[in-house]
Each structure stands twice: as structure tokens, then as C-alpha cells.
């Protein structure tokens, strides 16, 4: 597993993938939070908090993470190296987990520079240092769990086609449906289902973001991650 993990990390940073992903993520967030005028601009909000950051980042993840994972197995299938990979003395689970761990690490690395936003809010607060640490830490944990879940989805969709664009589009659609699709269904009153929103990721992410770490929310993300990793492994077994 470690050899796969190391190979994927080297691939990310040897090419422009890692720098492009991190750069685009930080640039878009920076523009929305500090430059563009509007509801997300922290300087115009009148409140020294990071609610805008934690609101828009999941939507960026829906597009960003499938772009990171789309090549994971699509490239292997397109180049025919998946057969070579499977002949090595490692299990298919180790292959999947190695690729998964490297992609999750890249997402975490992309989040690390945003700690600067926390420092900025500390200085902008009145009084200085006035920050809801429980909500902030919970929101960061929620972003990591959400990113890890999107990564498992993206890894699964990369096994569906040798075409990276197709894998990317399926990943975006599936991530969007699991994040916001159930909330949309909940709003259709005639269905009469009051539990639909609790199936989607958004409600669990928002629950963790309040600063109260409920084991049910954490367990939900763990189950989603395992489910899609298991599907990924199943697809690899069939190749």
C-alpha cells in the first residue's frame, strides 16, 4: 500500500496536478472571500467569522476533487497498466487504499494554507481574538470528512471509464446528488418523506460544523467512504 501511496504522491507533485489543484482552490477562495464584492466577502459582512468559507468550500470540492481523482484508475485502464499493477505482490485493497490515501492527503494539504484565514479573523474580531473555536474546528473536521467522502466517490467513478472526462463528469454529478440532492427532494412536499435530508452529506456536514462532534455524523461519513471504496475494489476485481 505504501508503495502505491508514494507513487501517487510523487505523480501529483512531479507534474503540475498538485500545484494546480492547490493554487486554483486557494485563488478561488481568496477571490470570493476577500476580493469580490457580495455576500461571501468577509470584509463586507460586518462579522469576523469564517461561515462564508465553510459554506462555499464544499461546492468547490464537488468540482475540485473529481478533477484530482479522475485519472486514478482511468489512466491505468487507458494505458493498460492496470494489469501490470495487479500482478505486483499487493492486494487490490492495498491498491485502492494507496491511491485513496494519496488523494486525501492532497486535499488536506490544500486546506492547510487556509489557516491564514483563521489568523486574519482573529485579528479582525472585536475584541481581537474573538472566534468561535468549537465551530471553527468542527467545520474543518467536517471539510476533511466531506473531502474524504468525495474522494472515495471520485475514485469509484474513475473505475467506470478509461476516459478521464467521463469519470470527472460522473464524479461531479454523483457528489452533487449525495451532497445536495436529498435536500432538494426534501423540499418537494408531496413526497411526504421527512428523513431524506438526513441521508445526504450536507446535513451531517452542517451538524459537525456547529462544533458538536456527534458520532452518528462521523459514522455516516465512514460508511459512505467504505461503501464507495468497496465498490471501487469490486470494479478493480472485475477488470
Structural domain containing residue 83: 2-238
* Counted domains in the chain: 1
The DSSP 8-state label assigned to residue 222 in this structure reads H
The answer to whether the CB of 165 falls within 8 A of the CB of 66 is no
CA distances from 216 to 30, 104, 112, 221 (A): 33, 22, 26, 9
183 band by pLDDT with thresholds 50, 70 and 90: confident
pTM of the predicted structure, to 2 decimals: 0.90
Q: In this predicted model, which residue has the larger pLDDT, 68 or 12?
A: 68
* CA 6 remoteness from chain centre: 20
* CA 226 remoteness from chain centre: 15
pLDDT in tens, 144-171: 999 999 999 999 999 998 899 999 999 9
HSE-CB of 210 using CA atoms within 13 angstroms: 9
Amino acid at each position: 500500500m505504501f508503495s502505491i501511496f508514494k507513487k501517487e504522491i510523487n505523480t501529483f507533485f512531479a507534474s503540475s496536478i498538485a500545484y494546480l489543484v492547490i493554487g486554483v482552490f486557494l485563488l478561488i477562495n481568496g477571490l470570493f472571500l476577500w476580493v469580490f464584492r457580495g455576500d461571501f466577502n468577509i470584509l463586507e459582512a460586518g462579522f469576523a467569522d469564517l461561515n462564508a468559507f465553510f459554506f462555499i468550500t464544499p461546492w468547490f470540492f464537488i468540482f475540485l476533487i473529481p478533477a484530482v481523482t479522475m485519472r486514478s484508475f482511468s489512466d491505468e485502464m487507458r494505458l493498460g497498466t492496470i494489469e501490470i499493477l495487479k500482478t505486483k505482490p499487493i492486494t487490490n485493497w492495498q491498491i485502492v487504499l494507496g491511491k485513496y490515501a494519496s488523494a486525501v492527503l492532497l486535499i488536506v494539504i490544500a486546506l492547510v494554507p487556509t489557516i491564514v484565514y483563521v489568523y486574519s479573523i482573529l485579528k479582525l474580531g472585536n475584541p481581537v481574538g474573538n472566534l468561535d473555536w468549537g465551530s471553527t474546528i468542527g467545520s474543518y473536521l467536517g471539510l476533511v470528512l466531506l473531502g474524504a467522502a468525495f474522494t472515495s466517490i471520485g475514485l469509484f467513478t474513475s473505475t467506470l471509464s478509461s476516459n478521464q472526462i467521463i469519470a470527472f463528469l460522473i464524479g461531479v454529478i454523483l457528489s452533487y446528488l449525495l451532497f445536495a440532492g436529498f435536500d432538494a427532494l426534501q423540499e418537494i412536499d408531496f413526497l411526504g418523506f421527512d428523513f431524506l435530508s438526513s441521508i445526504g452529506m450536507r446535513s451531517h456536514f452542517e451538524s459537525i460544523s456547529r462544533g458538536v462532534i456527534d458520532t452518528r455524523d462521523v459514522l455516516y461519513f465512514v460508511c459512505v467512504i467504505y461503501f464507495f471504496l468497496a465498490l471501487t475494489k469490486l470494479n478493480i476485481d472485475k477488470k
